[in-house]
Amino acid sequence: MTSAYVLVQTNPGAVEAIVAEMSQLEQVEFVDAVTGPYDAIVAVSGSLEDVEPVRLALSQIDNVTRTLTCPAGAPPA
């Protein structure tokens, strides 16, 4: 089950290599290159506690310039 989506901005021309590297991270369900203000979207599985280590790993990949984490799932009642 997806617990969050992480939107990723990269340096120009770097998205293909970064997508390949991100797909190897544990807890990553999928990663896709996208168009618009962000260059890739990463779906993170597991609990919300699993998101921060993945987000931190993503931000440390060369040519990743920014990440934005969006928790997934229904809002609390």
pLDDT of residue 13: 92
pLDDT of residue 74: 59
Asked, for residue 13, whether it belongs to a domain, the answer is yes
Asked, for residue 59, whether it belongs to a domain, the answer is yes
Asked, for residue 29, whether it belongs to a domain, the answer is yes
Asked, for residue 76, whether it belongs to a domain, the answer is no
Number of domains in the chain: 1
pLDDT of residue 11: 95
Asked, for residue 27, whether it belongs to a domain, the answer is yes
Q: For the domain that residue 45 is a member of, what is the CATH number? A: 3.30.70.920
Query: Across the 77 residues of the chain, what is the mean pLDDT of every consecutive 10-residue run?
Result: 90 93 90 95 87 87 93 69
Asked, for residue 77, whether it belongs to a domain, the answer is no
Reading the block at residue 18, the tokens are 């970064």
Range of the domain at 56: 2-71
pTM assigned to the model: 0.86
pLDDT of residue 46: 83
Count of Cβ atoms closer than 10 Å to residue 73 Cβ: 10
